[in-house]
Amino acid sequence: MENLTNCDEGLQPAVCRACLWARGAAWGRRAAGESLPPRRPAAQPCALGGLDAQQRAPQPLTPGGGEVWLLSGSAPGHWTARPATAAMPVGSLLPLFSSPGGGGLGGGLGVGLGGGRKGSGPAAFRLTEKFVLLLVFSAFITLCFGAIFFLPDSSKLLSGVLFHSNPALQPAAEHKPGPGARAEDAAEGRVRHREEGAPGDPAAALEDNLARIRENHERALREAKETLQKLPEEIQRDILLEKVKVAQDQLRDKVLVGDLPEVDFLPPIGVENREPADAAIREKRAKIKEMMNHAWTNYKRYAWGLNELKPISKEGHSSSLFGNIKGATIVDALDTLFIMGMKTEFQEAKLWIEKNLDFNVNAEVSVFEVNIRFVGGLLSAYYLSGEEIFRKKAVELGVKLLPAFRTPSGIPWALLNMKSGIGQNWPWASGGSSILAEFGTLHLEFMHLSHLSGNSIFAKKVMNIRTVLNKLKKPEGLYPNYLNPSSGQWGQHHVSVGGLGDSFYEYLLKAWLMSDKTDLEAKKMYFDAVQAIETHLIRKSSGGLTYIAEWKGGLLEHKMGHLTCFAGGMFALGADGAPEALAQHYLELGAEIARTCHESYNRTFMKLGPEAFRFDGGVEAIATRQNEKYYILRPEVIETYMYMWRLTHDPKYRTWAWEAVEALENHCRVNGGYSGLQDVYFVNESYDDVQQSFFLAETLKYLYLIFSDDDLLPLEHWIFNTEAHPLPILREDKKPVEVKEK
């Protein structure tokens, strides 16, 4: 159909019907009952119910007239007149759903509301109505895809229903598994998946998923119905009873912990801050201390007592992660100040904590962030200095976090109201799940809280997390990032060694090391997980760069985050505990990850790494999406440099670390402190105006340790939590803190 004139020049009837659809109904200004002019004959019926080449539809005399001419769906070929001022039948808004004979949805509505017209013609389908329907249709499609990808266990549904994926059909890895990944294990797994009714069977998994989803929906409907049937007074009473119960539980926790026992503090090992013998190294270390002084001084000048600094605006910045708790930078920087010998600044921070650090706030906080920054920072400050205020505050905060564990499974909530003790999870998390990297990154701190308080309640809470995890079947031996705290079952099958998963694996290794290598359960969990990661996630690019991809329901996304770069140091740190045949392999794997992450820095204009970088579409170690090109003063790459330097003494790691120092000074340093960057590939700096507290806690601390001698916080005596706060190894024969018998 080339143009409308063709319809008047003898096209076939079926084509003319399509042309008529494109034209729409004709508007005319004729009085009711007046016949059409001869030159505009009314259309006559034809065999196909349409218009033949000579049968024209009525045409408008003038626009905006008083009548509307519509093609009737009940009598093919007949035109009827309707006053233009009359309300348009509902059926006319739904032509896409009408059958030719008017028997569809539009036709049905037309009968009831259109005054006897059984079907609406396409004439009434205006452009605006098309647009509205298109929006509705688009929203429906978006909702469907959202349900597929983001509901709990949706990845199972996706792989089982749409793709019928089978691990045996996945492409072979370019990166060969290490010696620990046995071929017999992979073959055995494939056989199990083919067995009827086996846990890995897609049909069985799909049936289980649907049954669980149906059960959850029915329970939610029942609860909603019961709530709606209650009177407002009853609902208010239930809320008050719940608050009373929470308050009683909080009081019970305080009673369980009780007063802190008296302790004898033993001086820590490896905190003597000797100057390096090499003059060039001394100069570089002094420069890093000056950077710390610049960051701290500006925080004190412009944001003292607030959580973080906005160095461009020269004012305070408070993240919702901490609720109304203040002083995140002060607590996070305590041990860095102590290690660098900034004693005056350390005492200023201690005085502020004594007078101002308050956890009795009516606000939601991130349990994970408060634990690693506040609990970890206070514990570390105590172990370094012996100041009792830090132990007292750490245990006090630990007690405030205990209500987060009040879930059916014992898996803690991500968010907790510090006053009411009521918890919930992030709204965006899969099916209301808790996050692996969050509930899995409490172990080190809570074990030390039990150690310092003399009460086992903290240790029991985190050991229960292991109990829950060990009961669950791991897909391909991997740990999904989401776990529902109510059901105790996995949510969406998304696996990452970066964001949402990272520090869980780190804490498995460090739990074993911190126990003086007596926690054999943690050791087994760690090396089993590493074997699965190496088999399913670690790949090598065509350019020879080893990277760790993300796993989504059996499909790999060839993306590696800046957060994932910590893994190089983790693999190297765990090498000593691996079987003898694997020790060198894991050390080399750590070195390969360090090289890849260095390349992600080296391939930017700023010489600082992006938030995430990809290995697809012909690129390697480069961010291809605008929302992945930022740098927020993250420490993970430098953390890996520190471990690799300590374990190998290869001078390239000090060289790479100094490159990072120069980049930070050239591009992130401003008059008011240090700021993150919005695009590390752009020639001109675009600042995000936030000096993160972890820049002082982690980035600068790791840089300082790289250019210090190994006897400053030696790895044989200290374990760093995921915020770089050093915690001593808990030895059975010689404990750093000995509780006095009363």
The rounded distance, in Å, linking the Cα atoms of 439 and 411 is 7
The rounded distance, in Å, linking the Cα atoms of 26 and 191 is 68
3-state SS, 475-515, equals HHHCCCCEECCCCCCECCCEECCCCCCHHHHHHHHHHHHHC
The rounded distance, in Å, linking the Cα atoms of 27 and 61 is 8
SS3 percent helix, strand, coil of the chain, rounded to 5, is 50, 10, 40
Tokens of 223: 């609860």
What angle is formed at CA 217 by the lines to CA 216 and CA 221, rounded to 5 degrees? Answer: 120
Place of tokens 């079926």: 14
The closest of 581, 468, 580 to 525, measured between CA atoms, is 468
Say how many Å lie between the first and final Cα of the chain, rounded. 98
Q: Which residues contact 703 (CB under 8 A, 6 or more apart)?
A: 288, 291, 638, 642, 657, 660, 661
The rounded distance, in Å, linking the Cα atoms of 607 and 425 is 37
Q: What are the CA-CA distances from residue 433 to residues 322, 425, 492 (Å)?
A: 20, 7, 9
Residues linked to residue 659 through DSSP beta bridges, in sequence order: none
Is residue 369 within 8 Å of residue 321, measured between CB atoms? yes
Other Cβ atoms closer than 10 A to 118: 22
The rounded distance, in Å, linking the Cα atoms of 312 and 677 is 12
The closest of 569, 573, 563, 557 to 511, measured between CA atoms, is 573
- Find how far residue 702's CA is from the centre of its chain: 25
The rounded distance, in Å, linking the Cα atoms of 561 and 631 is 11
Is residue 444 within 8 Å of residue 511, measured between CB atoms? yes
- Find how far residue 624's CA is from the centre of its chain: 19
3-state SS, 254-270, equals HHHHCCCCCEEECCCCC
The rounded distance, in Å, linking the Cα atoms of 274 and 254 is 42
Strands of 543-633 (E only): list them.
Answer: 546-548, 550-552, 555-557, 559-561, 612-614
The rounded distance, in Å, linking the Cα atoms of 629 and 610 is 5
Is residue 164 within 8 Å of residue 554, measured between CB atoms? no
* Annotated catalytic residue within 364, 445, 611, 639: 611
- Burial environment of residue 333 by CB neighbours within 10 A (0 to 12, 13 to 18, 19 or more): buried
Tell me, yes or no, if 665 is annotated catalytic. Answer: no
- Find how far residue 237's CA is from the centre of its chain: 37
The rounded distance, in Å, linking the Cα atoms of 209 and 17 is 48
The closest of 564, 533, 538 to 628, measured between CA atoms, is 564
Q: Which residues contact 314 (CB under 8 A, 6 or more apart)?
A: 298, 301, 302, 672
In a 3-state reduction of DSSP, which class is residue 741?
coil
Q: What are the CA-CA distances from residue 323 to residues 271, 360, 363 (Å)?
A: 33, 11, 5
Q: What is the DSSP letter of 667?
A: I
The rounded distance, in Å, linking the Cα atoms of 307 and 146 is 36
Question: Which residues are catalytic, by number?
Answer: 611
